[in-house]
Each structure stands twice: as structure tokens, then as C-alpha cells.
A and B are shown apart, each in its own frame.
Chain A
Amino acid sequence: MIELRNLSKQFETSDGSVDALRHINLTVQDGDIYGIIGMSGAGKSTLVRCINMLEKPTEGSVIWDGKDLGAMSEKELRAMRRRITMIFQSFNLLMQRTCLKNVTLPLRLGGMKNSEAEKRGMELLELVGLPDKANAYPAQLSGGQQQRVAIARALATDPEVLLCDEATSALDPKTTHAILELIRDINRKLGITVIVITHQMSVVQEICSHVAILEHGEVVEEGEVSEVFSNPKANATKNLIYPELSDGAAILAEGGQKIRVIYNGAVASREPMIAKMALDCGILASILGASTRSVGDLAYGYILLEIPGGPAELAKAVTYLSSIPDIIVQVEAEYGSKEVRP
């Protein structure tokens, strides 16, 4: 289990100090795939580097299996970093070394004999599906292949935790999918806890069990992925989960009464509810935007509607739509939204 307790990080710059992280509290259980998501500049990379102490937190602590990583000596930190390993957006392979040499590097650093390390390295290359690239150089590999080699390298020391810093951000969607599959396999087969840093909601959706949303250095929302997806509360979360809608809402923010209809589960999505509302209530809502996501076996989604008329029509529409099972209706205010549950 990894616990971040009241973690803060300040950077000193020439214009004074900048708060990169503010009072972060998170708990990652063993075996989780935990997503930390945020826009660029939210502090994700700093946060992940605080977990393995590449960045020293200004305040607060990181507790891993009951040990306070901030109190460790350099030597203990180095030993810890063989148990908590990391992969990166830019793969960061040694360009002048073969793939096999890249994979065996952590083992050689730990003093393992070359013949033994190469045997283990070949096993790892097989695990990531690249045994034939052992003697190739990274420059001869595609991005996805390089990340596979980096994953093999990160697994070399039998870690308990794998940190992924935007590991798929430099890859195309298809390769991203394949790499995420590999990470999930590793999580399942080897029982390695995975912490995934990303700005892509699709990554969280695909492999994470838990998610924390980071905005301006703070965790604004946290919980099980299905929970957060079905009912996102913070604005940052909504923007990340349904970027189309937040864009649409921004453009159309000038006026009009808007409601956000959230449906989850197959029943609600089969209901022709907008058409029925027009027939039953005579309210001719216009659809400003819509988006659906599937998480696990369930479908979640939003429809953003503009309701013509005055407050009476608005209330009517809210009451009508809320009566449908699995539907939550929110009235969109200028900033954020207020949940209405009649």
C-alpha cells in the first residue's frame, strides 16, 4: 500500500515560490491500477516523482508498506527504487546499447553477473513480446516497441510497484491500446501495483480501477473509476471526461437554460427520452452536445440540453427527465452545475 499524506511540493523560482502540489492525500492499495489524471501543468509529473523521491516533497510524507520514504538514506532510496520502478513518455532507453543491454542494465547495476542478467533479460523480452529484438538498437524500433523494452527493463528487478509517467502519450491510439493491455496483463499476472499518470481519460477508462483528478496541484476528486465516471462532481473532472461537452457549453454560455442529463446503464440509453418529453410535455429541447463512454460493462453519458421558455418549463423538464430510471439531471449554472433531484 502506498499512502501520500498531506504531500506538498514548492519550487523556488526567480519570481518566488510556486506551489506545484498542495496537500495531496491518496491511498493506493496493493494490486490496484491507480490513475492520476490532469491537464498539463496540473502537477502530475511532480507527483509521480515524489512517490519515488526523485523530487523531495516540501511537506508531507509518502508511506510505502509502513516505511516513510522521505526519511530514507540515499542508499535505502536506491534500494527502494529497485522495488518501485518507472516508465516514461519518451521511453528513455540508452540509444547506444542493444535492447537486451537496456533490459539488463538495472540487473548489472545491482551487481548481477552478465550471463545471468542476459538470461533474465531474454525472459523479460519474451514477456513483452520482443525476443527477436534482443540485439537490435532502440533507434531501429518503433515507439511502441521501445516502450515494451522500457517495460521489460522496469520489470527486471521484480518490482512491486510500477509508475507510468504518461507512458502512452507519445504513441498512436492502436499502440496505446496494446501497451495498456500489456500493463494490465503485468498487473494481473505478476500482481504489480501500477500508478498511471496521464492526461488521457481513455487511458484511465481502459485500465484503471481507481482514479484521482489533479487540478492546479490539488486532488479535486478521487474514487473508483466507475463511480467518478457515472457522476463526476468537480468541473475539472467533467472537462476531462467529457471535453466535447465542456467546449460546447463554453461556446453556448451566453444565455438560455441548460440542463445536463446524465444517464448510466443500458435502460436509460434505450429510452427515446427527448422525443417523449416533446410529446408528453410539449418542451422542444435542443441538443447542444452529447457524449457517452463505456466503463466496464456499463455505459455512461451526458446530454446537454437547452430548454426553451422560462423557469416553469425548466422545472417541468427536470421533473420529467428525473422520473426516468438511472437518470440524473443537473441544471447548468454559469460556473459548474447544481444537482437537482426532485
Chain B
Amino acid sequence: MNFANAFTPERLQEAWNCLLIEFPFAIWETLYSTLLATLFAIIIGLPLGVLLVTGEPKGIRPLPKVLMSFLNVFINFLRSVPFIILMVMIIPLTRVIVGTSVGTVASIVPLTVAAFPFIARLVESSLREVNPNIIETAQAMGATPMQIITHVMLPESVPSLITNFTLAITTIMGYTAMSGAVGGGGLGKLALAYGYQRYRYAVLYLAVIVLVLITQLIQSFGTWLARKCDKRLKD
């Protein structure tokens, strides 16, 4: 990297213009790919996370051991593939679902595939925090396993789930930056294609600063929301 002429007045002026013209759309792309990918990942990952807890031998609805082992291995496998490789690996799947493997919309597929196993593990850990005595109490009331999940386990873990989903969103936003490398849009692509490859380092740094700010905002909001929802903290 050559920083010598990176921050001359002309370059800074250029970066400023870029901020006004290019950034709004890039921010929009980052946000919607992040949020849609998180949404789809929750739709797939939440039930899997529930199964990981309830399907255990000592869970409320034990499942065959083979099935549980398969589920665990499958999730661990997806979690251990680096995102940048996963993106390339599932290009055929992306083509089937979106019709193309290039672009911001297409990048939602690998983002979802990378995020749902992560979400499943986060949901698992949230549900394990639920007081087992309360689950036993629900059983003693004659609740079905499904009722225990919907009336007890999920409502009781709402604050923890919010905290974990916030963590997921910020992680997935980090992934969207990487998806810029293979055709995805957003701040990541802007930083790489505009800032790095065209030696406009001021733009690169600006993109990073904006990403950090968005992450901070989401994190603060998530923390605030989790706190607000937690009825255990009221005095």
C-alpha cells in the first residue's frame, strides 16, 4: 500500500463526494442483505436450535440418537467452513435459488447458509439457560412438548435470544463485507473495489468507519432491547 498520496486534499474531496453519492446505496445494500440473511437464518436456525435442546436423551422430546448426531455433525461442518470458501462452494445452490451467483441478492444465499448453523448454536445456548425446574413445572401442568417450547422455553429466553441475535447480526454484517469479494454489494464491495483496488484509501477507511458505526448502533440497540424485555431486572 502506498499511503503517500492517499490523503491529499483532492483525494479527500473525492472521498467526500463518494460518501455523498455512493455510500447511501452501499449502506442500504449492506443493511438489507444483513437483515434478510439474518431473518432467513433465524427461520432455519431457530427450529434447529430448539431441536438441539429438546431432542437430547434428557430433553423434553428425545429424538433418535442417530438423528441428533447427524444434526450436530452437519452444524459443526457448516460452522467450520470459512465463509469465503463456503460462498464459492455453494454457488450451484445460489444459482438454483436466485438464478445467478452474482450480486447483492445472490449473496444472501451464502450469508444465510453461513449464519443459520451459528444461529442454531446461539438458540441452543439461550434455551439451555432456561431454568429446568420451570420446564418440569410445565410438565407437571400437563403441557405437551410443543406447548413447553412455545409457552415456556422461548418466552423465558427472550432477553437472551435478543442478545444472541444481536451478536448474529453484527457477525453477519462482517460476512457481507467479504461477500463483496465475489460480487455481493454493499460497504464491503465499496471498500474493496473502490477503495483498495483503485488506491482510494480514504474511501476504504470511510467505509470501515461507517461499518463500525452501524455495528455500534445495532449492538447498542440490541443491548437496550434485551434489557428492556428482561422482567427479572425490574426492581
Majority secondary structure of chain B interface residues (helix, strand, loop or mixed)? helix
Shortest C-beta distance, A39 to chain B (Å), equals 21
CA distance in complex: A23, B199 (Å): 83
Partner of A108, one of B139, B151, B235: B151
Number of A-B contacts (CB under 8 A): 73
Chain A interface bracket (under 10, 10 to 19, 20 to 34, 35 or more): 20 to 34
Judge whether A109 and B151 touch: CB under 8 Å: yes
Partner of B143, one of A52, A78, A85, A140: A78
Chain B interface bracket (under 10, 10 to 19, 20 to 34, 35 or more): 20 to 34
Partner of A109, one of B147, B156, B232, B235: B147
Partner of B140, one of A54, A94, A110: A54
Partner of A94, one of B144, B152, B229: B152
For window 69-88 of chain A, which residues contact chain B by CB distance below 8 Å? 77-82, 85-86, 88
Interface residue? B131 (CB, 8 A): yes
CA distance in complex: A166, B149 (Å): 27
CA distance in complex: A79, B134 (Å): 19
- Taking CB atoms, residues of chain B closer than 8 Å to A153 are 141
- Taking CB atoms, residues of chain A closer than 8 Å to B140 are 52, 54, 81, 85-86
Interface residue? B14 (CB, 8 A): no
Interface residue? B231 (CB, 8 A): yes
CA distance in complex: A81, B137 (Å): 11
Interface residue? A209 (CB, 8 A): no
Interface residue? B218 (CB, 8 A): no
Interface residue? A202 (CB, 8 A): no
Q: A225-262 CB contact bits vs B (8 Å, 1 = yes)?
A: 00000000000000000000000000000000000000
Q: Which residue of A lies closest to B134 (CB)?
A: A92
Can you offer 25 A-B residue contacts whose CB atoms are under 8 A?
Answer: A78-B142, A78-B143, A81-B139, A82-B142, A85-B141, A88-B133, A92-B131, A93-B134, A94-B134, A95-B231, A95-B232, A96-B155, A96-B156, A96-B229, A97-B231, A109-B138, A109-B141, A109-B142, A109-B147, A110-B142, A139-B231, A139-B232, A139-B234, A157-B141, A157-B142
